[in-house]
Chain A
Amino acid sequence: MISRRDFLQATVAASAIYGASGIGNWAKLAAQQALTQDQLLEFDTFGNVTLMHVTDIHGQLKPIYFREPEINLGVGAVNGLPPHVTGEDFLKMFDIKPGTPEAYALTYVDFVSLAKSYGRMGGLDRVATVLNAIRADRPDALLLDGGDTWHGSYTCLKTEAQDMVNVMNALKPDAMTSHWEFTLGIDRVNEIVEGLDFPFLGANIFDAEWDEPAYEPYQMFERGGAKIAVIGQAFPYMPIANPGWMFPGLSFGVREERMYEVVQEVRDAGADLVVVLSHNGFDVDRKMAGQVPGIDVILTGHTHDALPEPVLVGNTLLIASGSNGKFVTRLDLDVQNGQMMGFRHKLIPIFSDVIEPDADVATLIDEQRAPYKAELEEVLGTTDTLLYRRGNFNGTWDDLICNALIEEREADIALSPGFRWAPSLLPGDPITREDLFNATSMSYPAAYRSEMTGETLNVIMEDVADNLFNPDPYYQQGGDMVRVGGMGYHIDVSKPQGSRITNMTLLKTGEPIDPARSYVVSGWASVNEDTEGPAIWDVVESYIKRMGTVHVDPNKSVKVTGP
């Protein structure tokens, strides 16, 4: 391996180049009203290998608004480290001026007004334009998809992800890994995988009965005279965080020892560069990078973080490419004699009004959507509040969903899962059926209504909090905290499981939650197979139609301490 000192110099050189020509220029360009496609794509081709990374697209074929988190706490050793830096602190850390396109793309600060200036982001037709431009510079650039691709929209649900498969095939990925893909059910996943022109990788996916690998662990590529191993790492907690009964024969897990073995195997097979295409989540990848030697690059996914610079752990580069089609990462590498000698990196923001759609892919997207046009476009109501989900605690999309559950299902308390997907809507926007499905679409949508004791509610809250705030990343599942309606609570994220949650209060009476009393609780997305109830989108549609214009008050019922 190259020495750490040389490597750091390479890093500094690359950053210096980018401070001058890439990101640092956005502010000025914006001030001049001169943001252009050429400037967004500007890149001085470097080395002999190019990686292109997209991840966590969540079915978003068309441009969307996506507000980045306001609260994204890190506990233990990662407190205050990226990606656990938000808002003004994020702008300071990466030297970004407020009000710039970059500030809009990467933080929540002044989101609504900047969204009106800079418009929607993403759209796979725009992504196609960017990929084509990179391929014009480097025809054999590798496109790697981190997964959560075949989930998240109305058309994706109705076509069992055929829309996403068709459009992604047109973008020609070289490999992908997975998470929500498996909520299509194992039979559908295998049906799609058999028809793909590229490998569906997961070194950590095992047959549960025989304890044997169930999918290809890695793929070798020859690029620029270098042998490149791309190892897939699927979401480790698939059968726990999502319904295991939908893929009953599979076992997942971090399986650090397995990653160690596979890295050795590909190095022994002559790999000059080892890339892990991961759906672990950023903190899990950061820990794995420190534990497993020999990985050059981890393309992270799952936790939806977008970072304008790589994070370096030892000699391993961690890349975070955002979600929902907002960004494409271009990573150029100089790989010589089994060593990564240097890199040049750019997180390319997909400003949909600046980047020209690729005509062929735009047509293909329209074809996928055409059969569902009327349903997609039906306006259910209007929002007078910014609707967003992302953040460790409540977001307004979930507050709206919880209000709907409490009213439509006559519940005391509502629970909405801490998903990280769901685009945002601006105040005054109509809420279409497409928008509603972007926030609720899934294969286990039943909105249950049941009685739970205060004690059980506390168990759930503590359990989910530990999945988010356990100081050891390998014990984290990567979602956000369960969103709660009708009940307030305090959380001290620095405490151990069992003592983080206090002051649980029933909001409608202001009384403390009684551990022994039963409460009527409504929620959705239970992982239990026998869950009964109407689909969550029907519950919320009914509520929005009844309200006409929905309004969500700022949520002041969660008090957070201890990071």
Chain B
Amino acid sequence: MEFTRRGAIALGAGVAVTLMLPARGALAAAEDRIAEFTGGAATGEGGITLTTPEIAENGNTVPIEVDAPGAVSIMVLASGNPTPDVCTFNFGPLAGAQRASTRIRLAGTQDVVAVAKMADGSFVQAQNTVKVTIGGCGG
């Protein structure tokens, strides 16, 4: 039995405390990105749907979808990755829908965050926890 998934291995008992440090660091980095994107403006809820699996079938390629009707731009962050940036989708005035899907890599269990900039300059945010697990014991 091999455990190659870095995120899982980093979670050992003795390491739990040290793990908190990079996790907090990544979270801070994600907060910085959001602040850059919004220019420091507060983000609201609703009007944005982020669809992710609850548990990733494969942490290396996790399907996600964002949908924010009326958005001009949607930023996606993997808050627990060493570098949280995933992508920003920009929608022109002729876009039929402000919806996009892609597959992303997650280093371990974490929140995926989506922030949409709406046409009126306001911002809305959604986030989901995606679990990355060793698995293998379902009965």
Contact = CB atoms under 8 A, between A and B. Distances in A.
Interface of A: 179, 208, 211, 235, 237, 239-242, 244, 251-254, 257, 417-421, 448, 450, 452-456, 458-460, 462-464, 466-467, 470, 472, 474-475, 477-480, 482, 497-499, 501, 504, 515-516, 521, 523, 525-528, 531
B39 interface: no
**Overall SS of chain B's interface:** loop
Leading 9 A-B pairs by shortest Cβ distance = A241-B138, A455-B12, A240-B135, A419-B139, A479-B139, A420-B139, A515-B14, A458-B13, A527-B136
B109 A478 contact: no
Interface stretch (B48-56, B78-86, B114-122): B48-56
Nearest to A449: B1
A480 B139 contact: yes
Contacts of A475: 54-55, 129, 131
Interface in B88-131: 109, 129, 131
Interface string B37-71: 00000000000000101110110000100000000
Q: Which of B15, B16, B133 has the most CB of A within 10 A?
A: B133
Contacts of B136: 240-242, 417, 525-527
A79 B12 CA distance: 28
B8 interface: yes
A240 B51 CA distance: 19
A445 B67 CA distance: 43
Interface in B1-45: 1-3, 8-9, 11-16, 19
B109 to A, nearest CB: 7
Nearest to A461: B13
Contact of B12 (A252, A420, A458, A497): A458
A497 to B, nearest CB: 7
Nearest to A239: B57
B139 to A, nearest CB: 4
A241 B16 contact: no
Q: Which of B13, B14, B51, B109 has the most CB of A within 10 A?
A: B13
Q: Which of A452, A482, A526, A527 has the most CB of B within 10 A?
A: A527
Contacts of A208: 57
A464 B137 contact: yes
Given A254-B53, A478-B138, 14 more contacts: A240-B57, A240-B133, A240-B136, A253-B55, A420-B139, A454-B12, A456-B3, A459-B9, A459-B12, A464-B137, A466-B133, A478-B139, A480-B139, A498-B16
Nearest to A258: B51
B55 A418 contact: no
Contacts of A462: 11
Nearest to A281: B138
A478 B131 CA distance: 15
A426 B5 CA distance: 42
B138 A463 contact: no
A239 B136 CA distance: 9
Contact of B15 (A244, A455, A467, A528): A455
B134 interface: yes
A462 B131 CA distance: 13
B9 A477 contact: no
A531 B11 CA distance: 23
B63 A477 contact: no
Contact of A240 (B1, B2, B55): B55
- Report the interface size class on chain B: 20 to 34
B62 to A, nearest CB: 11
A239 B54 CA distance: 13
A479 B137 contact: yes
Given A253-B54, A475-B55, A456 B139 contact: no
Nearest to B133: A463
B1 A479 contact: no
Contacts of A480: 137, 139
A106 to B, nearest CB: 20
Contacts of A477: 55, 135, 137-138
Nearest to A250: B57
B13 A501 contact: yes
B53 A467 contact: no
A417 B11 contact: no
Contact of A450 (B1, B8, B13, B14): B1
Contacts of B133: 240, 463, 466-467
A474 B58 CA distance: 17
A254 B53 CA distance: 8
Contacts of A499: 16
Contacts of A240: 55, 57, 133, 135-136, 138
Q: Which of B58, B134, B135 has the most CB of A within 10 A?
A: B135
A464 B136 CA distance: 8
Q: Which of A240, A419, A452, A515 has the most CB of B within 10 A?
A: A240
B57 A251 contact: yes
Contacts of B2: 528
B14 A418 contact: no
B6 to A, nearest CB: 11
A455 B13 contact: yes
Nearest to B17: A498
A240 B135 CA distance: 5
A330 to B, nearest CB: 26
A482 B137 contact: yes
A531 to B, nearest CB: 7
Nearest to A521: B1
5 contacts: A239-B57, A463-B134, A477-B55, A479-B139, A499-B16
Nearest to B109: A497
A241 B135 contact: yes
A242 B12 contact: no
B138 A235 contact: yes
Given A458-B12, A523-B1, A252 B137 contact: no
Nearest to B63: A211
B12 A237 contact: no
Nearest to A251: B57
Contacts of A235: 138
Nearest to B19: A498
